[in-house]
Structure 1
Amino acid sequence: MSEDTSGETRPAAPVLLTGASGALGRVLARELAAKGWQLRLTDIAPFPDEVPAGATFEAADLLDRAAIARLAKGCGAILHFGGTSVERPFDEVFGPNVQGLYNIYEAARAAGARVVFASSNHTIGFHTRSTTIDPDSPYRPDSYYGASKVWGEMMGRLYWHKHGVESVLVRIGSCFPEPVDARMLATWLSYGDLVRLCERAVLAPQVGCCVIWGASHNSRMTWWEGDARDLIGWQPEDSADGYAGTVGDKTSGDPVIEAHQGGAYVKMGWTRA
């Protein structure tokens, strides 16, 4: 792994990017390849763009343990953005996000690779917006999807303590081209900040197993504090503040949704009186 003290801006070994055909995977593939990174791209779906120079693409299912192990062999890091990325019925979440995540960590252990795990704010979505939490605050998942990300973070901790596999657990807020509602004025993570975060997560000399709140420099983000951004050398550069005039009044109108950090996910499948 290249160290930031060397002045290098790309890792010495290839990097495996799962979920490469998804919205965030495509951004990372394009931007990191442009920086000269050696990328192995994979997804269960075909890659919809031209494969960037210096990168390769191979379709693979996260449930195919042998294929994932082969793709990870010789890699210094795995950017794990694969799996089910929204709330779905339990059976659709379980396979890729639980069994598939195990396959990723087994591949990382065998390869001696660091994992950058695309976790989610939905691991803590039932905390209220009036509460400020840190990475040691209790998990309060708001969905099957959020619960699967809790599992992913727990696997990261297990593989660090038992096997020495390093992980950066990125609790992504809302990563879109721009904010679309009032909640995202707090949770928005710009594509640029995402790319820079992943760069530092891979290039930082040592990370252990740490949590980063994946949000840009948004003045309304008062819910999350105390992460490991200084450890990896990352600070967000973009901000949702400039969008307040256009989306600041766009709310759900639902008091339960508006009270909780997870937003609409807390009401999906809701049966409480």
Structure 2
Amino acid sequence: MDVLITGAHGTVGTAITDHLGDDDRYNFTLLDVDDAPSPHETAVADVRAYDEIRPHFEGQDAVVHLALIPGTGGPDSRALGWNEPQADNLEGIHNVTEAAVDAGLDSIVFASSNHAVGMVEGRNAPDVYHDRGIVAGHDEPHRPDSRYGLTKSYGEDLGRLAAEAHEISFYGLRLGAIRDPAYDHPYGDAERGVDEGRWERGSDAYEEQVARMKGLWQSRRDLAHMVACCLDDESVEWDHFYGVSGNERRWLDDLEHARETIGYEPQDDGEQWDGPPA
């Protein structure tokens, strides 16, 4: 299967190639705004420029759209107006979807986000990190917590239009917390805060980050497995799945749906960790 990955050099893209790069089922082409050493075919292009990216969709079977315009989040992301990076991100989502449809790809795997339903967390934190009774199930409607979350909601809805009007399969992955290899564990955000001098290990702020990540974490290998499940699937027209590991206290809770629909079987659980790696 020939698979194009946009934003391929980022945290999520490298999780895919680290764990699936040697899998003979997939022939990856990596697309990003900057070049980087890779054993895979690479393309330098900007998803905001349709004419730049369109040729790279020829001959592909699927696209995994991860590219994100810097500046999409930030402290003002709950404001109602659009800033330029967020508007550019919407354009990128549109361009990738249009190119996939125009080139006749079989499927789109879209990096959505937990922020598409993030108001569940925003209205219930910190209880949501400890009380398993507060969940966003598979049927939770869009409840974006920011303009960033709105861009992800838009991407999911555009994907539904592409699926139903143009017969291209769409998989929206509402990703939880995927981190670079050094912090790929449920203590990762807390430890990074220690490394950056934002709090001390064992402080209340540290422990709250641990509690949050034990529900929201998706290990790099589980993320890659979920992407593979989507690429291998032949049953879905349009659907979304929460990108979390098999965490006992997860508040994004559609694991049974993901298991039954695409065969997602995560290997990791944040509750199995009682401290950061030595």
For Structure 1 versus Structure 2, the TM-score category normalised by the shorter chain is 0.7 to 0.9
State whether structure 2 residue 145 is matched by structure 1 residue 142: yes
Partner residue of 2:42? 57
Deviates more, 1:29-38 or 1:127-136: 127-136
Distance 1:164 1:66 in 2: 23
> Percent identity between the aligned chains?
31
- Trace 1:40-189 onto structure 2 (pairs within 5 A): 40-47=29-36, 50-52=37-39, 55-84=40-69, 87-88=73-74, 90-113=82-105, 114-127=107-120, 128=124, 129=128, 130-176=133-179, 177-180=184-187, 181-189=210-218
Give the AA of the match of 1:191.
R
Please, which runs of 5 or more residues in structure 1 have no aligned partner? 1-10, 248-273
Q: CA deviation at 1:227?
A: 3.5
Distance 1:223 1:33 in 2: 28
Residues 129-180 of structure 1, C-alpha deviation per residue, up to 9 Å, x if partnerless?
Answer: 3532323322111112111101111111111111112111111111121123
- Specify whether residues 200 and 223 from structure 1 end up closer, same or farther in structure 2 by C-alpha distance, changes over 3 A only: closer
- Specify whether residues 222 and 27 from structure 1 end up closer, same or farther in structure 2 by C-alpha distance, changes over 3 A only: closer
- Specify whether residues 31 and 103 from structure 1 end up closer, same or farther in structure 2 by C-alpha distance, changes over 3 A only: same
Q: CA deviation at 1:25?
A: 1.0
Q: CA deviation at 1:111?
A: 2.0
- Specify whether residues 230 and 112 from structure 1 end up closer, same or farther in structure 2 by C-alpha distance, changes over 3 A only: farther
Contact 2:176 2:244 in 1 (8 A): yes
Partner residue of 2:263? 233
Partner residue of 1:22? 10
Distance 2:118 2:230 in 1: 24
Q: Secondary structure at the match of 1:82?
A: coil
- Specify whether residues 82 and 229 from structure 1 end up closer, same or farther in structure 2 by C-alpha distance, changes over 3 A only: farther
Distance 2:57 2:47 in 1: 12
Partner residue of 1:256? none
Q: CA deviation at 1:203?
A: 0.9
Distance 1:143 1:71 in 2: 32
State whether structure 2 residue 195 is matched by structure 1 residue 203: no
Residues 31-85 of structure 1, C-alpha deviation per residue, up to 9 Å, x if partnerless?
Answer: 32211321110111332xx312xx2111110011122221111111001111137
Partner residue of 1:224? 253
Q: CA deviation at 1:223?
A: 4.3
Residues 158-208 of structure 1, C-alpha deviation per residue, up to 9 Å, x if partnerless?
Answer: 111111121111111111211232101001100010111111100112221
* RMSD between aligned residues: 2.0
Distance 1:94 1:227 in 2: 31
Distance 1:46 1:23 in 2: 15
Give the AA of the match of 1:239.
D
State whether structure 2 residue 34 is matched by structure 1 residue 34: no
Contact 1:17 1:80 in 2 (8 A): yes
Please, which runs of 5 or more residues in structure 2 have no aligned partner? 77-81, 188-209
Contact 2:119 2:145 in 1 (8 A): yes
Distance 2:32 2:7 in 1: 5
